[in-house]
């Protein structure tokens, strides 16, 4: 096994451990966590046996396994970007509503005085 494979597998294992055990900061559902673990396991398998990925790439008419992995990572990145944008937009709306409520309460308290 190559040194880079060992380093990448250790990094993937650390990422999975951090994501699964860090319950306070990660509000992900169990299904999403399982999907994430499966995705990382697929990546680890591709690191250990890259020739198998090339065979799979041939099945779907992609020239090389690295190209297939790149295409999958582009889709995963796009999904993450859109999900992050929607989450930040939702938080922005919540904070705006909260600011309105606080402003109205403060205005009401000033009117009473």
Residue 17, pLDDT score? 84
Residue 93, pLDDT score? 96
At residue 20's C-alpha, the angle toward residues 14 and 25, to 5°, is: 105
For 52-68, what is the mean pLDDT? Answer: 90
**Separation CA 25–CA 72 (nearest Å):** 26
Structure tokens at 22: 């860090």
Residue 27, pLDDT score? 58
pTM to 2 decimals? 0.66
Question: How far, in Å, are 21, 54, 66, 86 from residue 83 at the CA level?
Answer: 22, 30, 25, 5
For 42-56, what is the mean pLDDT? Answer: 89
Whether residue 26 is predicted with pLDDT greater than 60 in this model: the reply is: no
Whether residue 88 is predicted with pLDDT greater than 90 in this model: the reply is: yes
């Amino acid at each position: 096994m190559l040194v880079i494979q060992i380093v990448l597998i250790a990094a993937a294992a650390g990422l999975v451990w951090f994501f699964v055990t860090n319950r306070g900061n990660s509000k992900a559902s169990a299904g999403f966590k399982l999907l994430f673990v499966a995705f990382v396991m697929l990546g680890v398998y591709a690191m250990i046996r890259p020739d198998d990925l090339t065979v799979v790439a041939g099945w779907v008419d992609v020239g090389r396994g690295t190209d297939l992995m790149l295409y999958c990572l582009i889709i995963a990145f796009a999904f993450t970007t859109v999900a992050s944008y929607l989450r930040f937009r939702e938080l922005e709306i919540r904070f705006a509503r909260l600011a309105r409520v606080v402003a109205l309460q403060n205005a009401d308290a000033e009117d009473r005085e």
